[in-house]
Amino acid sequence: MSDETTTVEETPPVGPERPLPEHPVLRALFEDFETVGWVRSLGQDVAQVPNEAWAGFAHAVRDAGFEVCVDVTVVDWMRERPERFEIVANLLSMAHKLRLRMTTTAGRVDPSVASLVPIWPGVNFAEREAYDMFGVTFEGHPDLTRILMPDDWEGHPLRKDFGVGSVPVQFKESHQVS
Amino acid sequence: MSDPTIDSPEITETLDLWVAGTEEPEFSPTDEGEQEISDHESEARLDEQFGRVVEDDYVFDDGVDEGERMILNMGPQHPSTHGVLRLQVELEGEIIRRTKPIIGYLHTGMEKTGEQLNFSQGGTNVTRMDYLAPFHNELAYSLAVERLLGIEVPPRAAAIRVLLTELNRCSSHLVALATNGMDIGAISMMIYGFREREQILGFFEKTTGLRMNHNFIRPGGVAADLAPGWKDDVAAILTELPRRLQQYDDLLKDNPIWIARTRGVGVISAEEAIAYGITGPALRAAGVAWDLRQAFPYSGIENYEFEVPVGEHGDVYDRYRVRIEEIHQSLRIVEQAMDSMPMGDYRVDDRKVTPPPRARIDESMEALIHHFKLFTEGFKVPPGETYVAVESPRGELGCYLVSNGEARPYRIHTRAPSFANLQGLPIAMADSLMADTVATIASMDPVMGDVDR
């Protein structure tokens, strides 16, 4: 253990009890948002954002130098967590060579969150996929329609309560020939 | 035997053919007034045709009649859409104004399937996503599982992974070049590209047992050691491929037809690429030297020397050049990996993750139990979530993996590069000619298995 690492470890508790990241860019970002929590998950920085602060924090993150939002996806926690859906956005800063993951939660009934398309146009498809697969509404999305499943599909396949193999077979009559 | 109906008078009467001399034509057959060489064949026009001037933005013509606008569905069963991609294009005459990619025709719910398979079976699932770069899919998945497990693979396993993924990058780019050439009309390029790819796939088959969908890179290392005599095969590829690449350059690099069809076509600027999350050769062709192998090295790739080729204009030609250069750079890495291949184990020595050697099962009760547990319920992965990305031939290929402590992933999500890159098609194709559509699609190199998953 060198001296440098020990001094770095002493610096974080300068602020209030809230843990803050070491990297100056991230640190400045989290200091501006009181409600956003920071955790380190297996060597990666994760911002836990309240649902109502999602778009506002995303704006600040983009202005801090995260110019790419590589991905938006959802995890369905079913009954394991009080808030059923966890929305996850993976961000990338080419300028700082840094990654950040933003997560927020949405409840069981009419899950919704602000869309990130006005901030990063490239999440258009990703949010459509998340809506298609989980039924999470992204408010402000320009074209929130199904992308992978057929337009008349019922249900959202990647939800944990969507069964596997319960779909009636299409073109069933083809087996009745002969 | 003559057909009586042909000679019947009512048929000849209905045929409304113009016969020379029967009536006065409106134009004189020798009048060449419209065909004179005019100013559109000027020096400036020739510059554009030879690619010396890059011009993409066509002027929007407000005077176009509403009746001239037409919506055309291209695909999904179109050979140049590389699978089942459907494009809805709004045309004004020959010019595309708007494009909407419609996908999902190949959706098979692989992320849902991934939740039903345990961690050691997961590789068979992810390898089928981007079927032109199966090793990259396996690598991203394996790295994610290993990060959740907190294990490091031995140096030989990491080097084998680098060797295979870089060879896979060559084979994938060769397909991209081949199909790109075929779509524009350079049919010989298609034959050449697939021929060279076959040599690489032959090496893959010798190593993994399969030409595609290998499931060779697994959590904890690789499935088997390299086959005896692998160095000869790799050396043969290393001598053959640069010679072939030179032939491609002779064929295409300064070919005026190729340049006319690709220069200034399907331009994506650096700002657009970054805003739309476009990665890989399409981003580097726009002049952004961004490569995850340098920015966030994985699997020990920081130990090898290579450069990141970049383009200038972000057009189809630059994407073709970037791919060619990337093959050269990948071959450099392959050569270094071949020369410095470390000795040792090819998978981690952790019996909770990798099965014991066959001989040990006969001797040791412990080994038998481990083997049985691994192949019946699989290994358990501590709770957590992680996102790991690798540089696939098409861009950033990420694996977002959530475990709740069981033997199956709670959620497995693949950040597919083709999926994000498809969003660049409407930008690249706006206000361009219909004839350039296939060139643009081919240069983005979408793999529909990756897009729809």
Q: Which residue has the higher pLDDT, A16 or B314?
A: B314
Strands (E), chain A: 37-41, 44-48, 68-76, 85-93, 98-106, 112-114, 137-139
Tokens encoding B103: 């996908």
Q: Residue B378's domain is classified under what CATH number?
A: 1.10.645.10
Task: Write out pLDDT tens, residues A81-138.
Answer: 888 899 999 999 998 889 999 999 998 888 999 999 888 888 989 999 999 999 999 9
Q: How far is A78 from chain B (nearest CA, A)?
A: 11
CB contacts, 8 Å: B147 with chain A: 42-43
Query: According to the model, what pLDDT value does residue B433 have?
Result: 87
Q: Which domain holds residue A165?
A: 3-176
Residue A146 in contact with partner chain B when CB distance is under 8 A: yes
Q: Go through chain B and tell me how many residues it has.
A: 453
Give the sign of the dihedral formed by CA B342, CA B348, CA B354, CA B358: positive
Query: According to the model, what pLDDT value does residue B35 have?
Result: 46
Query: According to the model, what pLDDT value does residue B58 have?
Result: 45
Specify whether the backbone of B346 is left (phi greater than 0), alpha (psi in -120 to 50) or beta: alpha
Distance between start and end Cα atoms, chain A: 76
A94–B274 C-beta distance less than 8 A: yes
Q: How far is B53 from chain A (nearest CA, A)?
A: 29
pLDDT tens for each residue of chain B, 453 residues long: 444 444 544 444 444 444 555 555 454 444 444 444 445 556 665 565 555 554 444 455 566 666 677 888 887 877 666 778 888 888 888 888 888 888 888 888 899 889 988 898 898 999 999 889 999 999 999 999 999 999 999 999 999 999 999 999 999 999 999 988 888 888 888 899 999 999 999 999 999 999 888 999 999 889 888 989 899 999 999 999 999 999 888 888 888 888 888 888 888 888 888 888 899 999 999 989 999 998 999 988 889 999 999 988 888 999 999 999 999 999 999 999 999 999 988 888 887 888 888 888 888 888 888 888 888 888 889 999 999 999 999 999 999 999 998 889 999 999 999 999 998 888 888 888 888 888 888 888 888 888 888
Specify whether the backbone of B212 is left (phi greater than 0), alpha (psi in -120 to 50) or beta: beta
Q: Would the ipTM clear 0.90, i.e. be above it?
A: no
Specify whether the backbone of B296 is left (phi greater than 0), alpha (psi in -120 to 50) or beta: beta
What is the per-residue DSSP string for B128-149? TTSTTSHHHHHHHHHHHHHHHH
Tokens encoding A30: 């989290």
The structure's pTM equals: 0.82
Q: Residue A77's domain is classified under what CATH number?
A: 3.30.460.80
With beta carbons less than 8 A apart as the criterion, state whether A89 and A72 touch: yes
Report yes or no on B4 lying in a domain: no
Measure the CA angle with vertex A109, ends A107 and A114; round to 5°. 60
Q: Which residue does chain A place closest to B418, by CA atoms? A: A125
Report yes or no on B424 lying in a domain: yes
Q: Which domain holds residue B132?
A: 110-452
Which amino acid is present at A171?
A: F
**Backbone angles phi and psi of B99, in degrees to 5:** -135, 140
Strands (E), B48-168: 69-74, 86-92, 95-102
- How many domains does chain A contain in total? 1
A70–B398 C-beta distance less than 8 A: yes
Query: According to the model, what pLDDT value does residue B163 have?
Result: 93
Task: Judge whether residue A54 has pLDDT over 80.
Answer: yes
Which CA distances in Å does A162 have to A76, A166, A169, B132, B187? Answer: 11, 9, 16, 31, 47
Q: How far is A129 from chain B (nearest CA, A)?
A: 10
Tokens encoding B10: 């009512």
> Could you identify the residue written with the tokens 């920071």?
A38
Q: What letter would DSSP give residue B7? A: G
Task: Judge whether residue A10 has pLDDT over 50.
Answer: no
With beta carbons less than 8 A apart as the criterion, state whether B308 and B400 touch: no
CB contacts, 8 Å: A42 with chain B: 147-148, 384-386
Q: How far is B452 from chain A (nearest CA, A)?
A: 7
Say how many CB pairs under 8 Å bridge A and B: 93
Report yes or no on B331 lying in a domain: yes
What distance in Å separates the CA atoms of residue B151 and residue B357, rounded to the nearest whole number?
Answer: 19
With beta carbons less than 8 A apart as the criterion, state whether A46 and A40 touch: yes
With beta carbons less than 8 A apart as the criterion, state whether A175 and A162 touch: no
Give the sign of the dihedral formed by CA A53, CA A59, CA A63, CA A69: positive
Report yes or no on B124 lying in a domain: yes
CB contacts, 8 Å: A101 with chain B: 387
CB within 8 A of B364, min separation 6: which ones? B356
> At A13, is the pLDDT very low, low, confident or very high (cuts 50, 70, 90)?
very low
B413–A70 C-beta distance less than 8 A: no
- How many domains does chain B contain in total? 1
B147–A68 C-beta distance less than 8 A: no
Measure the CA angle with vertex B41, ends B35 and B47; round to 5°. 160
With beta carbons less than 8 A apart as the criterion, state whether A91 and A65 touch: no
Query: According to the model, what pLDDT value does residue A9 have?
Result: 46
Report yes or no on B351 lying in a domain: yes
What distance in Å separates the CA atoms of residue B391 and residue B406, rounded to the nearest whole number?
Answer: 29
Residue A169 in contact with partner chain B when CB distance is under 8 A: no
Beta strand A137-139 with A112-114: parallel, antiparallel or unpaired? parallel
Query: According to the model, what pLDDT value does residue A1 have?
Result: 40
What is the per-residue DSSP string for B183-251? HHT-HHHHHHHHHHHHHHHHHHHHHHS-SS----EETTEESSPPPTTHHHHHHHHHHHHHHHHHHHIII
**Backbone angles phi and psi of B429, in degrees to 5:** -95, -10
CB within 8 A of A31, min separation 6: which ones? A15, A20
What is the per-residue DSSP string for B260-318? HHHTTSS---HHHHHHTT--THHHHHTT----HHHHS--TTGGGS-------SS-SHHH
Q: Go through chain A and tell me how many residues it has.
A: 178
Tokens encoding B269: 């600027």
